[in-house]
Amino acid sequence: MDAEGIRKVVLDELRRIAPELEEIEPSKLLRDQVDLDSMDWLNFLVALHERLKVEIPEADYQKLATLDQVVAYLSAKAK
């Protein structure tokens, strides 16, 4: 899947968790834009793991602060 496809999946899953979500600024912290608690975050990662078949170790959470970072991380992993 290309980066655009991955971006679509990520946004899709974010909206499932936070249906009230409107626009996302791709380079700003996700945490400041989406009201995600730790359970939401875990569910988000589980969904990405299941749809994109990538492993996301806990140690990598810090690389996933913005939408752009999430997409870049997953694109590199999904190759």
Partner 1 sequence: MIEFKLPSLGADMDEGKLLEWKVKPGEKVKRGDLVAVVETPKAAVDIEIWQDGVVHELITQLGTTIPVGTVMARLLAPGETAPPPGAAPAAPVPLAPVAPVVPVSVPAAPPASVPAAPPPAGLGRHLVSPAARKHARELGVDVEKLQGSGPHGAVTVEDVEQAKKGAPKPAPAPAEPPAAAPAAAPAATPPADKALAMRKAIAAAMSRSKREIPHYYLSQTIPMQRAMDWLTARNEKRPVTERLLMGALQLKAVALALKDFPDFNGFWKENAFQPAQGIHVGVAISLRQGGLIAPAIHGVAELSLDELMKAFADLVRRARAGSLRSSEMSDPTITVTNLGDQGVDEVFAIIYPPQVAIVGFGRLAPRPWAADGMIGAVPAVVASLAADHRASDGHRGARFLAAIAARLQQPETL
Q: Which one of 2, 20, 22, 23 is in contact with partner 1 (CB under 8 A)?
A: 20
- Could you write out the DSSP letters of every residue in 26-57? TTSBHHHHS---HHHHHHHHHHHHHHH-----
Residue 72 contacts partner 1 per CB under 8 A: no
Q: Which one of 8, 28, 49, 53 is in contact with partner 1 (CB under 8 A)?
A: 49
Round to whole Å and give the CA distance between 48 and 6.
Answer: 9
Residue 45 contacts partner 1 per CB under 8 A: yes
The least CB distance from residue 48 to partner 1, in Å, is 8
Residue 42 contacts partner 1 per CB under 8 A: yes
| Rounded (10°) angle between helices 38-52 and 67-78 | 30
